[in-house]
């Protein structure tokens, strides 16, 4: 039964009512909800667009008609205590829910304090939109950092995108705004309506902490269900936690998932399709890891993911977060690690994103000499600000812990380490000591890597760092940045430059092959042939090789075989494993080789066998980062363009012998001294017929003679295939 109770008290002051109607009230909790007015308790609700509102008391037997004022304010007297609900009649129907303004403080003081200190590393469960049950009421708790805003409201499909309906409460301290909205369920789309301190209404902002988003080109945030997935990879994680990553084999397949799955009709595919197609391919090819180009939500697909805004959300292009979790779980079941390309250096300036989020330079620097990246037309995170630093570190930990990732490859590290990166004199701001080093970024990386080490259960961090910055992979307690691995960009540039030369000129450029070994053990290096080397007019890896078609494929096989036998972990971009003809195009279908294309099928078989050899042979990976695992035998035969070296596991066994002939001329009776007498077997010949080669070699094995060479009493007389590489192993049983 509905009662009409006269309301004998002054209505809300006109100024407060006007601010509510304008969607500008700075403190909605001061006027909405239950309040004492004189000697009367009153409940106020602001529901613009409602035709009629009732105050439902207790178990719902008592309903009080609320008196409407202005264009949406409803008031009624109420008991001083006890639950109540609001029943509203709208043009489209009737709703009933608890009052958002009946709830007390939502985030704890510890949450607020830790966030302000940049030390809240479970941030995604506090800020953003999180489903909660509070006082028996189900709904969503929204919380967002906007310290310089004068007003913040939640807008979404649950309130007809009306910025007046759900103004938030500002908490003292760092400027976090919060609101619990009863009845909001997973899947609801929302944004924040923010008014700057100047009074300017900003474009609606997506949630920086959203764990799910609409699929681009739509830009809304989506209320995500709790991250609850039935994982089956505990044995994998336990093994990873015990392992020593520097001594383990790591052969990574770098992939843009949408591009790899894309069909000739332009369809991008999904995580479930990746489970069905990608995982079996990775298993077949023998890669130990897959490295995903950024899947954090990004508005512009042409950025390949390197301009993200959703630092906590897997891109909706490929499916919901639980589908990504399922993909990772199935990778682990198949024995494949998953590494994510993660971008903390910069973000795009899209108006719905982080740029001037509350009307001020919040996530970015105010000074464009620090805050704008001209190379990419993006904004640079201010990692010197504690809240921003904590936001990024919590993002990294979210991916590693929530999705069980095996590592993060951190993009554009060099651009963060140097204040003058890609800037002319006068275009950058020195550090406090007058130098070019970004001390805040150094501290950021040290804390990031320390926490990944402490919380990641054996997950690794990999730096894409292109300069000679010392100590990238040195421990933090030794003054280093603390990464596990660093991309060896010097090796990559030298190697590709060498292989691009006509073999007739290679004799004058042997230092391109040997120079990298002068510093190969100064860091824990990974050898990358990444997407960056097959875009922007550089051509494909195959197209950079000289000669006719036969020589180009022989050079490709030689290049890959040399890479797999060289010290350092491996990374190869998709398509390079079979010699894709054209450079990579994210919008084109993946150029799978025709079944009758023997040379490309041969290249794939070589990569498969290289992975098998590398992963099963400790000499090729155990001492990747120790000088005792490598020794030159021949580094100066410029006349023949032959290089020879050994790889050792440090276990007392004779080392592997690796010999590379960099010319298209076979070398017969080429003598190389070896440590052990007797039979040596070919573990790999890149010129084998199965790989599309000419099958020139040593019949699979060779015996030593007593002719001394290279400081050894015995030697092998080898036939070196043209543009070929041999890997030989001593056979003690056969000797």
Q: What is the pLDDT of residue 654?
A: 85
pLDDT digits (tens, 9 = 90+) for 34-83: 999 888 899 999 999 999 999 999 877 789 999 998 889 999 999 999 99
Classify residue 358: in a domain, yes or no.
no
**Same-domain status, 614 and 625:** no
CATH of the domain at 563: 3.20.20.80
Classify residue 390: in a domain, yes or no.
no
**Same-domain status, 123 and 212:** yes
- Check pLDDT > 70 for residue 735: no
pLDDT digits (tens, 9 = 90+) for 489-525: 999 999 999 999 999 999 999 999 999 999 999 999 9
**Same-domain status, 714 and 637:** yes
The last residue of one of the domains, among 571, 601, 618, is 618
Least confident of 1-15, 351-365, 567-581, 614-628: 1-15
Strands 310-314, 372-373: pairing is unpaired
Domain that holds residue 82: 2-100
Section 606-624 average pLDDT = 98
Classify residue 368: in a domain, yes or no.
no
Confidence of residue 294 (pLDDT cuts 50, 70, 90): very high
Q: What is the pLDDT of residue 5?
A: 55
Beta-ladder partners of 525: 486
- Check pLDDT > 90 for residue 652: no
Task: Please give the full DSSP string across 324-352, using - where no structure is assigned.
Answer: HHHHHHHHHHTT-EEEEEE--SEE---TT
pLDDT digits (tens, 9 = 90+) for 105-144: 999 999 999 999 999 999 999 999 999 999 999 999 999 9
Q: Is 557 helix (H, G, I), strand (E, B) or coil?
A: helix
- pTM, rounded to two decimals: 0.95
The CA distances from residue 410 to 392, 485, 653, in Å, are 12, 10, 37
Confidence of residue 268 (pLDDT cuts 50, 70, 90): confident
Section 657-681 average pLDDT = 97
pLDDT digits (tens, 9 = 90+) for 192-242: 999 999 999 999 999 999 999 999 999 999 999 987 899 999 999 999 999
Positions marked catalytic: 411, 464
Section 263-270 average pLDDT = 83
**Same-domain status, 604 and 631:** no
Q: Tokens 């259960």 appear where?
A: 457
Classify residue 361: in a domain, yes or no.
no
CB 550 within 8 A of CB 687: no
Classify residue 660: in a domain, yes or no.
yes
Alpha helices in 243-353 (DSSP H): 257-261, 271-285, 321-333
Task: Report the run of H or E that residue 558 belongs to, with start and end.
Answer: helix 549-565
**Same-domain status, 491 and 591:** yes
Percent of the chain predicted with pLDDT > 70: 98
Per DSSP, 213 falls in state B
pLDDT digits (tens, 9 = 90+) for 346-396: 999 999 999 999 999 999 999 999 999 988 999 999 999 999 999 999 999
Q: What is the pLDDT of residue 2?
A: 56
The most distant pair of C-alpha atoms in the chain lies apart, rounded to whole Å, by: 114
Q: What is the pLDDT of residue 483?
A: 99
- Check pLDDT > 90 for residue 340: yes
Q: What is the pLDDT of residue 263?
A: 82
> Who's near 371: CB < 8 A, 6+ residues apart?
361, 364, 365, 379, 380, 382
**Same-domain status, 566 and 450:** yes
Write out 148-181 in H/E/C secondary structure.
Answer: CEEEEEEEECCCCCCCCCCECEECCCCCEEEEEE
The last residue of one of the domains, among 100, 125, 148, is 100
CB 606 within 8 A of CB 556: no
**Same-domain status, 535 and 662:** no
CA proximity to 165, closest of 155, 176, 173, 157 = 155
Classify residue 238: in a domain, yes or no.
no
Q: What is the pLDDT of residue 62?
A: 85
Distance CA 399, CA 342 (A): 9
**Same-domain status, 643 and 664:** yes
- Check pLDDT > 70 for residue 8: no
Helix 271-285 × helix 598-616 angle, to 10°: 80
Residues of the chain by 3-state class (helix, strand, coil), percent to 5? 25, 30, 45
Annotate 684-714 with b (16+ C-beta within 10 A) or e (fewer): bbbbbeebbbbebbbeeebebeeeebeebeb
Q: What is the pLDDT of residue 665?
A: 97
CATH of the domain at 198: 2.60.40.10
The last residue of one of the domains, among 53, 76, 100, is 100
**Same-domain status, 494 and 447:** yes
**Same-domain status, 71 and 42:** yes
**Same-domain status, 21 and 135:** no
Q: Total domain count for the chain?
A: 4
Confidence of residue 19 (pLDDT cuts 50, 70, 90): very high
> Who's near 512: CB < 8 A, 6+ residues apart?
494, 495, 497, 498
Classify residue 405: in a domain, yes or no.
yes
Classify residue 599: in a domain, yes or no.
yes
**Same-domain status, 651 and 717:** yes
């Amino acid at each position: 039964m509905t009662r009409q109770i006269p309301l004998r008290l002054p209505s809300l002051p006109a100024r407060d009512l006007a601010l509510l109607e304008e969607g500008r009230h700075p403190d909605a909790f001061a006027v909405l909800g239950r309040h004492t007015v004189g000697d009367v308790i009153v409940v106020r609700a602001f529901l613009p667009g409602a035709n009629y509102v009732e105050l439902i008391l207790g178990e719902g037997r008592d309903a009080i008609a609320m008196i409407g004022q202005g264009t949406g304010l409803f008031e009624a007297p109420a008991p001083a205590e006890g639950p109540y609900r609001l029943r509203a009649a709208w043009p489209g129907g009737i709703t009933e829910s608890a009052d958002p303004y009946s709830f007390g403080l939502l985030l704890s003081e510890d949450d607020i304090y830790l966030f302000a200190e940049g030390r809240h590393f479970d941030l995604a469960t506090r800020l953003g939109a999180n489903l909660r049950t509070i006082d028996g009421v189900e709904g969503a708790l929204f919380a967002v950092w906007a310290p310089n805003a004068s007003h913040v409201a939640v807008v979404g499909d649950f309130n007809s995108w009306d910025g007046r309906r759900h103004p938030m409460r500002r908490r003292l301290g760092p400027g976090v705004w919060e609101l619990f909205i009863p009845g909001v369920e997973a899947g609801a789309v929302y944004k924040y309506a923010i008014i700057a301190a100047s009074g300017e209404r900003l474009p609606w902002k997506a949630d920086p902490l959203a764990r799910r988003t609409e699929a681009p080109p739509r830009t809304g945030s989506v209320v995500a269900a709790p991250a609850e997935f039935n994982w089956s990879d505990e044995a994998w994680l336990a093994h990873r936690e015990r392992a020593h990553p520097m001594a383990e084999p790591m052969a990574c397949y770098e992939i843009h998932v949408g591009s790899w799955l894309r069909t000739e009709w332009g369809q991008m595919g999904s995580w479930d399709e990746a489970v069905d197609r990608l995982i079996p391919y990775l298993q077949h090819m023998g890669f130990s890891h897959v490295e995903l180009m950024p899947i954090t939500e990004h508005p512009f697909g042409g950025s390949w993911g390197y301009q993200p805004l959703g630092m906590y959300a897997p891109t909706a292009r490929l499916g919901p977060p639980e589908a990504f979790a399922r993909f990772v779980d199935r990778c682990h079941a198949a024995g494949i690690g998953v590494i994510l390309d993660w971008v903390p250096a910069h973000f795009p300036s899209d108006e719905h994103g982080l740029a001037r989020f509350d009307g001020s330079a919040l996530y970015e620097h105010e000074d464009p000499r620090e805050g704008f990246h001209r190379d990419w037309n993006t904004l640079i995170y201010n990692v010197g600000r504690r809240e921003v630093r904590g936001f990024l570190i919590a993002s990294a930990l979210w991916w590693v812990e929530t999705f069980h990732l095996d590592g993060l490859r951190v993009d554009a590290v060099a651009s963060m380490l140097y204040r003058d990166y890609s800037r002319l004199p006068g275009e950058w701001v020195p550090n406090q000591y007058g130098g070019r080093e970004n001390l805040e970024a150094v501290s950021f990386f040290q804390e990031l890597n320390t926490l990944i080490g402490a919380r990641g259960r054996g997950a690794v961090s990999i730096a894409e760092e292109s300069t000679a910055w010392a100590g990238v992979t040195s421990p933090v307690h030794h003054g280093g940045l603390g990464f596990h691995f660093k991309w060896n960009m010097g090796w990559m540039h030298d190697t590709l430059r060498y292989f691009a030369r006509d073999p007739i000129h290679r004799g004058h450029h042997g230092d391109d092959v040997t120079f990298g070994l002068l510093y190969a053990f100064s860091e824990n290096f990974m050898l990358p042939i990444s997407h960056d080397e097959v875009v922007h007019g550089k051509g494909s890896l195959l197209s950079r090789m000289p000669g006719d078609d036969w020589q180009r494929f022989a050079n490709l096989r030689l290049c890959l075989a040399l890479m797999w036998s060289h010290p350092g972990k491996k990374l190869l971009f998709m398509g390079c494993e079979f010699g894709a003809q054209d450079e990579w195009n994210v919008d084109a279908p993946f150029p799978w080789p025709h079944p009758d294309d023997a040379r490309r099928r041969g290249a794939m078989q070589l990569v498969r066998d290289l992975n098998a050899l590398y992963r099963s042979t400790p000499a090729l990976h155990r001492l990747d980062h120790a000088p005792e695992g490598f020794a030159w035998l021949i580094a100066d035969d410029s006349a023949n363009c032959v290089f020879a070296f050994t790889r050792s596991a440090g276990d007392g066994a004779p080392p592997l012998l690796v010999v590379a002939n960099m010319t298209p001329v076979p070398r017969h009776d080429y003598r190389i001294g070896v440590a052990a007498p007797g039979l040596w077997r070919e573990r790999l010949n890149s010129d084998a017929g199965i790989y599309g080669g000419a099958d020139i070699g040593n019949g699979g094995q060779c015996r030593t003679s007593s002719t001394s060479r290279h400081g050894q009493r015995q030697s092998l007389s080898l036939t070196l295939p043209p543009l070929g590489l041999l890997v030989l192993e001593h056979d003690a049983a056969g000797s």
